[in-house]
Amino acid sequence: MKFQKFTIFQSKPVNGQEGEEVEILFNLDHIISIKPIRISSGDKLLNGFWIRTTNGKKYRASKIPDDLLNVIGEKYQGQVNIVAEFDEQPFQ
């Protein structure tokens, strides 16, 4: 078994609050896929990952181990820089 530490968002936020981030150990042998996604958290947008495991559960992760990040690409982790001028541009 190969365990690695991931930082995930709590699956069900309590009382309408934002989900908090928690650290969890995953057995890498039980991960089916890791997909880059965008996660909205409060007033910011984060690059994150959608993790699927062999038991069918899915997790939203904000951080994954460095050895996996090197394979996927470092550009997919961290906060997304949003330029305000784009919101005011007309749709073309």
What string of pLDDT tens digits covers the 92 residues of the chain? Answer: 799 999 998 866 666 566 688 999 999 999 999 999 988 877 778 888 999 999 999 999 989 998 888 888 776 666 676 655 555 555 44
pLDDT of residue 91: 47
What CATH number is attached to the domain comprising 32? 2.30.29
pLDDT of residue 23: 94
Counting the structural domains of the chain, the total is 1
Identify the domain containing residue 79 by its residue range.
Answer: 3-88
Q: Give the number of C-alpha atoms closer than 13 A to the C-alpha of residue 81, restricted to the C-beta side.
A: 2
pLDDT of residue 54: 95
pLDDT of residue 17: 60
> How far, in Å, CA of 20 to CA of 10, rounded?
6
pLDDT of residue 34: 92
